[in-house]
């Protein structure tokens, strides 16, 4: 067994027993990256030296008899839209290609305090816009289960790294499904926490009212540990909730007897791949077998979630991305004769097509004369979607659905059809619109590719969805399956 | 020819004097080397988030209450999107449909009548930075530099109803607004530093008409004089166009101080579409009533109340009371002086006369006056005791202003003590009578003017130090 294949909690035990050092673990993962990243292409920036230094520091405190926290000495990576002090944070965009933030995101601060080892920054769809990682300005990341396929997006690099054992865990961001959909495509665990549970300070904004940082891990236990480390109020983020953080390890109970689970019928309709549907239904049977009471429920406004999302998210994005203008940092066009032409050329040359498409959509949706018909209407739809969930949660402890309607698709397959691409987030988007927590865990295979099960919870009730996920995981083997990645020696 | 009247509404921006910026901890201090009062948050760098400064809300509530506004229980921030290099995020965090305060008013005195000017709304927002063009003007500049020190300094924008009918009214409104904000201590209102700025909306219409004419907006009027002159010019311009059978174009104009004209900045066709939408990085603002009441308790006596008090308590004439309360610092000066020297009218005369004259001549604010209220009171007491004459006192006051020395010190040093001793004065009076037989004769023949001449001669002989009453008495006795 290679160290890089283990989970954080397994490695923590070895560290505590002094059977391995953090340096050994870190080196093992760095070697793994060297072996497979030419094929997977998950990393945009590697911080090897820094990682080893951090590892030595953890080893030193371990040697001095200190008790280590559960994540101390464990190597991990950040999606490249999470700001890291002194380390390039590019958002996989030409416009931020050489941007080095002078500050850390709050999640980075918290993990550094917890002794985490940062391996580097992970590839993504430019500014987190996309569902396949093909929108990276640098290169596409590949799905470790099939290198001809996409890992999903936009946290594709962060997810592929975990699936390919190039990191023990990673942090991604989820605006419309960007953690869960790739987690589903790559057969790992991905959690989108309740909006406001994890600070967004230092997360480069895509759509501020939807974005949320979350963990991507090899199993549910690690997911709980990482969430524990990053959750909680942050005075630097007014939208972060000022609530006590529960003990998520207590959620790791292999028992769901008596839990009531709703199965939203709208998630099983047209467009859902038959084999995916079959895998999800089997998972539901398994949950029933384990003592949960599963019932069909209706979330009638589900079909409006996608169009409303594609008004709200681009609207916010058009505003959030206005700051990339060549005046202060990042890319600036070589030739411009005045301010306006500098703006126009910088942005034309600096942004990729998907980002431009959404900026234009959002600008249009907010412009005077259209605001009421588009943006305001979308906000109303958002309220209806929230109400659907509220009503369902009056009766159910959690909801069960597919994470993605299909398994990972081929690179290039949907690249020129934005609408087809947008449909791959259809099962995840309503959750962001309602600000709810949801986790995706592996629940089966179709065509040899992983299928994800999505468990949606009440606001700030991560405990229940972790418990359902943990119980399922303890009674199945899907999470142990590893891609047969061809290794270049 | 029809008679026209102007319809004017003002949008005034005031920088709040909180110690730190509206959404981060940077200092709001004016000046400083460019880009030294900044951090990733006010620079709007990738990933950073604004956090609202509670003091800004408190100051806005205070200003709102002082302007008789309703304070909203539920308020929120919105983004105002537009591109400009001095705006780091290319959107400004402001308030749109739910401002913190609305429906207020203030009162001005026009031709002895009190006129109420409505205040539509008062809202909070962040200030932008400053562009420094390297060249003769924007069009000629080879490049431009940006200073973001002012970025994120808290502003309140106060929008009036179109209740103003003349440039003079507009100036009176602006002066009153400034005084109120200063009294509340929420802004230092230094127009030369840009901490108080004004845009004016103006249209004209035939007198008696109730419909509004097409308006133009004049941007960035940064002095009372500019406000009044620009409005005078613009009203005349609009009337002339209408008289010629033309049409007013709705547009934004700017005031060219040196040429004394307004010029087109942008037309309605090029007007901004700000694409307002709710700021998702800030939670809505719920203001509890207790907080509002607590702030209300901290409101000071405002200009109007203070003016009434000065008239009732001290019997000051309306004009004096208005001048004295025009600035809080001046009114404070008055109050402090009266505490030590109770003849209020004399104090008011000296403040309106000598003090303001010298302050203006030296381009100083009342706060920076070298003569403090105690100093003036000391001087006035010397007159009262008969130690010096009123005339000498003026010289002494100038000396105090120049040197910062006390009144008694100067009087002693220069030997300016009034001569009130008959024994000292009598020989001088005798000498003057002896030397001016013509005037003596004239006086005896009934020419009163001659008496004044003789008094003047005595004063001259004593370098003004003779007590005038005593001189009168001695002269009369001898003639």
**C-alpha angle A288-A386-A179 in degrees, rounded to nearest 5:** 65
| Pair A447, A407: CB distance under 8 Å | yes
Q: How far apart are CA B260 and CA A481, in angstroms?
A: 80
* pLDDT for the residue A324: 98
* pLDDT category of residue A288 using cuts at 50, 70 and 90: very high
Q: Which of these is catalytic: A178, A199, A318, A404?
A: A178
Residue A205 to chain B, least CA–CA distance (Å): 6
- How many angstroms separate the Cα of B344 from the Cα of each of A475, B9, B172, B378, B398? 92, 38, 26, 14, 21
* pLDDT for the residue A488: 55
Q: How far apart are CA B282 and CA A429, in angstroms?
A: 22
The reply to whether B375 touches chain A by the CB within 8 Å rule is no
Substitution target from B35, B46, B94, B278 for chain A, most A beta carbons within 10 A: B46
What phi, psi does A308 have (nearest 5°)?
-65, -40
Q: What are the residues whose beta carbons fall under 8 Å from the beta carbon of A30, sequence distance 6 or more?
A: A46, A48, A51, A52, A75, A119
The residue-averaged pLDDT of A405-428 equals 92
Taking alpha carbons only, the member of A468, A423, A450, A417 closest to residue A176 is A423
Q: Is pLDDT at A279 greater than 80 in this prediction? A: yes
Q: Answer yes or no: do A96 and B280 touch at CB < 8 A.
A: no
Q: How far apart are CA B343 and CA B394, in angstroms?
A: 17
Q: Answer yes or no: do A367 and B46 touch at CB < 8 A.
A: no
Both structure tokens of B285: 């603002």
| Pair B407, B385: CB distance under 8 Å | no
Chain B residue with CA closest to A322: the answer is B90
Burial class (CB in 10 A: 0-12, 13-18, 19+), B309: middle
Residue A15 to chain B, least CA–CA distance (Å): 34
Q: How far apart are CA A112 and CA A367, in angstroms?
A: 42
Q: Say which residue the tokens 């079959």 belong to.
A: A278
Q: How far apart are CA A200 and CA B89, in angstroms?
A: 17
* pLDDT for the residue B140: 76
Q: Which residues of A touch B79 (CB under 8 A)?
A: 319
Q: Answer yes or no: do A103 and B91 touch at CB < 8 A.
A: no
Domains and CATH numbers, chain B: 4-292 (no CATH), 308-414 (no CATH), 422-478 (1.10.10.410)
Relative to beta strand A75-79, strand A169-173 is parallel
Q: Say which residue the tokens 């579409």 belong to.
A: B273
| Pair B94, B128: CB distance under 8 Å | no
Q: What are the residues whose beta carbons fall under 8 Å from the beta carbon of A361, sequence distance 6 or more?
A: A310, A311, A314, A315, A318
Above 0.90 for ipTM, yes or no? yes
| Pair B268, B57: CB distance under 8 Å | no
Residues 95 through 154 of chain B touching chain A, CB cutoff 8 Å:
144, 146
What phi, psi does B252 have (nearest 5°)?
-100, 130
Q: What are the residues whose beta carbons fall under 8 Å from the beta carbon of B11, sequence distance 6 or more?
A: B157, B158, B159, B160, B198, B199, B200, B201
Both structure tokens of B301: 């006596």
Q: Answer yes or no: do B47 and A315 touch at CB < 8 A.
A: no
Q: Is pLDDT at A360 greater than 70 in this prediction? A: yes
Q: Which residues of A touch B281 (CB under 8 A)?
A: 205, 208, 238-239
Q: How far apart are CA B475 and CA B49, in angstroms?
A: 84
3-state secondary structure of B436: coil
- How many angstroms separate the Cα of B356 from the Cα of each of A390, B181, B299, B342, B370? 68, 21, 27, 20, 12
Q: Answer yes or no: do A89 and B52 touch at CB < 8 A.
A: no
* pLDDT for the residue A258: 96
What phi, psi does A83 have (nearest 5°)?
-70, 130
For residue A309, what is the enclosing H or E element?
helix A305-320
Taking alpha carbons only, the member of A82, A24, A76 closest to residue A47 is A76
Helices first, then strands: H and E counts in chain B? 16, 16
**Exposure letters B94-129 (e unless 16+ CB within 10 A, then b):** bbbebbbbbebebebeeeeeebebebbbbbbbbbbb
Both structure tokens of B471: 């001189």
Burial class (CB in 10 A: 0-12, 13-18, 19+), B35: middle
Q: How far apart are CA A253 and CA B269, in angstroms?
A: 65
- pTM of the full structure: 0.91
Taking alpha carbons only, the member of B471, B7, B479, B478 closest to residue B239 is B7
pLDDT digits (tens, 9 = 90+) for B296-352: 999 999 999 999 999 999 999 999 999 999 889 999 999 999 999 999 999 999 999
Q: For this structure, is A154 an active site residue?
A: yes
* pLDDT for the residue B459: 83
Q: How far apart are CA B50 and CA B59, in angstroms?
A: 18
| Pair B56, B17: CB distance under 8 Å | no
Please tell me the least confidently modeled range out of A81-95, A444-458, B392-406.
B392-406
| Pair B121, B99: CB distance under 8 Å | yes
Q: For this structure, is A424 an active site residue?
A: no
Substitution target from A211, A314, A319, A361 for chain B, most B beta carbons within 10 A: A319
**pLDDT tens across the length of chain B (479 residues):** 569 999 999 999 999 999 999 999 999 999 899 999 999 999 999 999 999 999 999 999 999 999 999 999 999 999 999 999 999 999 999 999 999 999 999 999 998 899 999 999 999 999 999 999 887 776 777 888 999 999 999 999 999 999 999 999 999 999 999 999 999 999 999 888 889 999 999 999 999 899 999 999 999 999 999 999 999 999 999 999 999 999 999 999 999 999 999 999 888 777 789 999 999 999 999 999 999 999 999 999 999 999 999 999 999 999 999 999 988 999 999 999 999 999 999 999 999 999 999 999 998 889 899 999 999 999 999 888 878 878 888 989 999 999 989 988 888 887 777 777 778 888 888 888 888 888 888 888 888 788 888 888 888 888 777 887 888 888 888 87
Q: For this structure, is A184 an active site residue?
A: no
Q: What are the residues whose beta carbons fall under 8 Å from the beta carbon of B136, sequence distance 6 or more?
A: none
Q: Which of these is catalytic: A21, A92, A131, A154?
A: A154
Chain A residue with CA closest to B285: the answer is A238
Q: Is pLDDT at A354 greater than 80 in this prediction? A: yes
Q: Answer yes or no: do A323 and B90 touch at CB < 8 A.
A: yes
Task: Judge if the upstream peptide bond of residue A154 is cis by omega within 30 degrees of 0.
Answer: yes
Q: Say which residue the tokens 């411009």 belong to.
A: A336
Q: Which residues of B touch A375 (CB under 8 A)?
A: 277
For residue A441, what is the enclosing H or E element?
strand A438-446
E strand spans, B399-471 = none
Q: Which residues of A touch B276 (CB under 8 A)?
A: 366, 371
Question: Residue B52 CB: number of other CB atoms within 10 A?
Answer: 17
DSSP alpha helix (H) spans, B100-252:
167-184, 224-243
Q: How far apart are CA B444 and CA A12, in angstroms?
A: 121
Substitution target from B22, B34, B45, B47 for chain A, most A beta carbons within 10 A: B47
> Which contacts qualify for B332-338: CB closer than 8 Å, 24 or more apart?
B333/B366, B333/B369, B333/B373, B334/B310, B334/B373, B336/B372, B336/B373, B336/B374, B337/B373, B337/B374, B337/B376, B337/B377, B337/B380, B338/B314
Burial class (CB in 10 A: 0-12, 13-18, 19+), A244: exposed
Q: Say which residue the tokens 């004459």 belong to.
A: B389
Q: Is pLDDT at A487 greater than 80 in this prediction? A: no
End-to-end CA distance of chain A: 18
Question: Can you state the percent helix, strand and coil of chain A, rounding each to 5?
Answer: 45, 15, 40
Q: Answer yes or no: do A238 and B52 touch at CB < 8 A.
A: yes
Of A205, A316, A367, the CB nearest to B47: A205
Relative to beta strand A398-402, strand A260-264 is parallel
Rg (CA), chain B: 29
Both structure tokens of A174: 């989820």
* pLDDT for the residue B389: 79
3-state secondary structure of B82: coil
Substitution target from B24, B49, B90, B140 for chain A, most A beta carbons within 10 A: B49
The DSSP annotation for B105-146 comes to EEEEEETTEEEEEEEEEEEEEE---EEEEESSSTTT-SEEEE
Q: Answer yes or no: do A375 and B281 touch at CB < 8 A.
A: no
């Amino acid at each position: 067994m290679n160290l890089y294949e283990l989970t954080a909690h397994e490695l923590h035990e070895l560290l505590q027993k002094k059977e391995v050092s953090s340096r050994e673990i870190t080196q093992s993962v760095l070697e793994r990256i060297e072996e497979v990243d030419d094929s997977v292409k998950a990393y945009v920036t590697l911080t090897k030296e820094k990682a080893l230094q951090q590892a030595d520091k953890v080893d030193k405190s371990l040697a001095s008899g200190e008790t280590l926290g559960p994540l101390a000495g464990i190597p991990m990576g950040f999606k490249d839209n999470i700001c890291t002090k002194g380390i390039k944070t590019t958002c996989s965009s030409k416009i931020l290609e050489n941007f080095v933030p002078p500050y850390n995101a709050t999640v980075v601060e918290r993990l550094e305090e917890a002794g985490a080892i940062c391996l580097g920054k992970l590839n993504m769809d430019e500014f987190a816009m996309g569902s396949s990682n093909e929108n990276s300005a640098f290169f596409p990341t590949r799905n470790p289960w099939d290198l001809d396929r996409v890992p999903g997006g936009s946290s594709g690099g962060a997810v592929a790294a975990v699936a390919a054992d190039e990191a023990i865990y990673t942090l991604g961001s989820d605006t419309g499904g960007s953690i869960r959909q790739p987690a589903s495509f790559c057969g790992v665990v991905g959690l989108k926490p309740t909006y406001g549970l994890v600070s967004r300070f230092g997360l480069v904004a895509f759509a501020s009212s939807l974005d949320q940082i979350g963990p991507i891990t090899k199993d549910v236990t690690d997911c709980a540990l990482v969430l524990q480390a990053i959750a909680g109020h942050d005075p630097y983020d007014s939208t972060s909730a000022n609530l006590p953080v529960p003990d998520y390890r207590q959620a790791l109970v292999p028992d769901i007897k008596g839990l009531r689970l709703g199965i939203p019928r709208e998630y099983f309709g047209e467009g859902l791949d038959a084999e995916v549907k079959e895998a999800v239904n089997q998972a539901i049977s398994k949950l029933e077998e384990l003592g949960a009471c599963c019932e069909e429920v209706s979330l009638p406004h589900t079909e409006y979630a996608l169009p409303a999302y594609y008004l709200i998210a681009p609207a916010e994005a058009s505003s959030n991305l206005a700051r990339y203008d060549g005046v202060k940092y990042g890319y600036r066009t070589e030739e411009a004769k005045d301010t306006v032409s500098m703006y126009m050329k910088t942005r034309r040359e600096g942004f990729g097509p998907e980002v431009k498409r959404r900026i234009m959509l959002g600008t249009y949706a907010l412009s005077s004369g259209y605001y009421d018909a588009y943006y305001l209407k979308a906000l109303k739809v958002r309220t209806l979607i929230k109400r659907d969930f509220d009503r369902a949660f009056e009766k159910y402890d959690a909801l069960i659905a597919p994470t993605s309607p299909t398994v990972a698709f081929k690179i290039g397959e949907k690249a020129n059809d934005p609408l087809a691409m947008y449909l791959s987030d259809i099962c995840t988007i309503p959750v962001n619109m309602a600000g709810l927590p949801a986790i995706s865990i592996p629940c089966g295979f179709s065509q040899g590719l992983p299928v994800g099960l999505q468990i949606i919870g009440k606001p700030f009730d991560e405990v229940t969805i972790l418990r359902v996920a943990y119980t399922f995981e303890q009674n199945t083997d899907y999470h142990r399956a590893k891609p047969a990645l061809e290794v270049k020696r | 020819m029809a008679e026209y009247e102007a319809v004017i509404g003002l949008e005034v921006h005031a920088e709040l004097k909180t110690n730190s910026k509206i959404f981060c901890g940077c200092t709001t201090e004016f000046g400083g080397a460019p880009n030294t009062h900044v951090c990733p948050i006010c620079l709007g760098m990738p990933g950073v988030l604004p956090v609202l400064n509670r003091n800004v809300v408190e100051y806005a509530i205070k200003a709102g209450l002082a302007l008789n506004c309703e304070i909203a229980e539920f308020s929120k921030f919105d983004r105002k999107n537009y591109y400009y290099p001095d705006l780091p995020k290319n959107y400004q965090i402001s308030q749109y449909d739910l401002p913190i305060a609305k429906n207020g008013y203030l009162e001005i005195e026009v031709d002895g009548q009190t006129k109420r000017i409505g205040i539509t709304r008062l809202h909070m927002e962040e200030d932008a930075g400053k562009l420094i063009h390297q060249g003769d003007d924007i069009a000629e500049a080879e490049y431009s530099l940006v200073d973001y020190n002012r970025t994120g300094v808290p502003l309140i924008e106060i929008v009036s109803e179109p209740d103003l009918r003349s440039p003079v009214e507009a100036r009176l409104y602006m002066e009153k607004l400034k005084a109120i904000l200063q009294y509340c201590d929420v802004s230092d209102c230094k127009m030369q530093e840009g901490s108080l700025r004004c845009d004016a909306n103006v249209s004209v219409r035939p007198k008696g008409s109730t419909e509004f004419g097409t308006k133009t907006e004049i941007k960035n009027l940064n002095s009372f004089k500019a406000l009044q002159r620009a409005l005078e010019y613009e009203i005349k311009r609009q009337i002339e166009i209408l008289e010629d059978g033309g049409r007013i174009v709705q547009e934004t104009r700017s005031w060219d101080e040196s040429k004394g004209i307004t010029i087109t900045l942008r037309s309605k066709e090029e007007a901004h579409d700000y694409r307002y939408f709710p700021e998702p990085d800030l939670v809505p603002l719920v203001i509890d009533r207790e907080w509002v009441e607590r702030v209300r308790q901290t409101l000071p006596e405002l200009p109007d109340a203070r003016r009434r008090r000065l008239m009732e308590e001290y019997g000051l004439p309306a004009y004096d009371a208005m001048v004295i309360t025009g600035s809080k610092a001046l009114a404070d000066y008055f109050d402090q002086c009266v505490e030590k020297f109770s003849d209020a009218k004399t104090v008011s005369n000296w403040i309106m006369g000598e003090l303001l004259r010298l302050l203006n001549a030296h381009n100083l604010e009342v706060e920076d006056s070298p003569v403090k209220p105690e100093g003036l009171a000391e001087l006035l007491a010397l007159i009262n005791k008969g130690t010096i004459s009123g005339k000498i006192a003026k010289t002494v006051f100038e000396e105090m202003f120049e040197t910062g020395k006390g009144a008694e010190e100067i009087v002693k040093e220069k030997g300016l003590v009034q001569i009130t001793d008959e024994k000292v004065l009598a020989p001088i009076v005798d000498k003057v009578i002896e030397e001016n037989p013509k005037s003596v004769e004239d006086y005896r023949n009934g020419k009163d003017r001659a008496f004044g001449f003789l008094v003047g001669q005595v004063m001259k002989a004593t370098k003004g130090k003779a007590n005038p009453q005593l001189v009168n008495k001695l002269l009369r006795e001898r003639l």
